[in-house]
Amino acid sequence: MAPARDFYQVLGVDRTATQDEIQRAYRKLARAHHPDVNKDPAAEDRFKDISEAYDVLSDPDTRRRYDAFGPDFRRVPEGVDPETWNRAAAGGARRSGAGPGRGAGPGRRAAGPTGDTGFTTEFGEDIDLDDLLGGLFGGRAGRGWGPIPGADTEATIELTVEEAFRGTRRSVTIEAGGQTRTLEVTIPAGVTDGQRIRLAGQGGRGTEGASAGDLYLIVRIARHPRYRVEGRDLHVDLPLAPWEAALGTTVTVDTPDGEAKVKVPAGSSTGRRLRLRGRGLPNPRGTPGDLYAEVRIMVPKRLSKEEQRLFTELAATSAFNPRKPS
């Protein structure tokens, strides 16, 4: 199994980075790797990694758990002391024969023979994390040594931009442990692509009366015919006639929250981005995203005789040359 990704490395920031630095790094990478912009086949997977890293590191509580427990932060039950966890993990690896210069060490993970993820040594001996948890909670499940909390599980839910903007309610079918369950889930307004929604107690069942794990719904925002999504920011094309771009105008733009007016300055060329502050996806914990209307100058496919005369007259009169720097 490939080593777990370090979310700080994914975003290219130090572990001491501020929340503003994390947000700036995310926006820069999201613009470069968004699959609607970057046609590299690997861009979509890279964009998902970037979104997942940002979702974890942008939330102070989740970031603290990630800093404490690393890639296992979602599996560790609430209330576990990080030092106790790390000592148990290191001790289990030593008992398996791994040591300095001999094996993978406590941080290396591998898939066990049943598909479970555990610690491994260079000799291929796996140690199930349930064994390590047994040392923290009184013993192994199923052997009379005490209860073990249930495992956390994940499922993906796809939303439209409008659903992400306003929130919605969905029926979600979960298959786990040979059982199928259908849950009615309320999706809050302002979720972003890659965000995880925690449903406490809806994961795997615990043993001997222990609490159930949590279910994490991974949000995926479907491609939209009008909007391009980058974090909480939305991007739309703004078609303009040549005279509108040259003279300036005010036009109506559709947003998920209804129509908005955008003022186009005179002399706007294709590619100019006009910002509508706060008209992107809402943010329950802070500042909402923005909507960017990007100018696209359009010309008529067919000209009337009068239009042809006017364009010909303009061509003869104007000294403007778009191929020369201004």
DSSP 123-184: T--EEEHHHHHHHHHTS-TTTTS---PPPPEEEEEEE-HHHHHH-EEEEEEEEETTEEEEEE
Non-local (6+) Cβ contacts of 213 within 8 A are: 149, 150, 151, 152, 153, 201, 203, 204, 205, 206
Closest-CA residue to 194 (of 325, 7, 2, 60): 7
What are 62's strand-pairing partners? none
pLDDT for 92: 52
pLDDT for 112: 39
- The pLDDT tens digits for 241-254 are 999 999 999 999 99
| 176 confidence band (pLDDT: 50, 70, 90) | low
- The pLDDT tens digits for 120-136 are 333 333 434 444 444 44
| Mean pLDDT along residues 141-151 | 58
Q: What domains, with CATH codes, occur in the chain? A: 7-137 (1.10.287.110), 153-221 (2.60.260.20), 232-317 (2.60.260.20)
> Above pLDDT 90, what percent of the chain?
39
Element (H, E) at 188: none
In our burial notation (b when 16+ CB lie closer than 10 A, e otherwise), range 204-224 reads bebbeebbbbbbbbbbebeeb
Q: Token pair for residue 108?
A: 């290396």
- The pLDDT tens digits for 216-228 are 899 999 999 999 9
| Mean pLDDT along residues 250-259 | 94
pLDDT for 81: 72
Mean pLDDT (the chain) is 79
- The pLDDT tens digits for 28-48 are 888 888 877 788 888 888 888
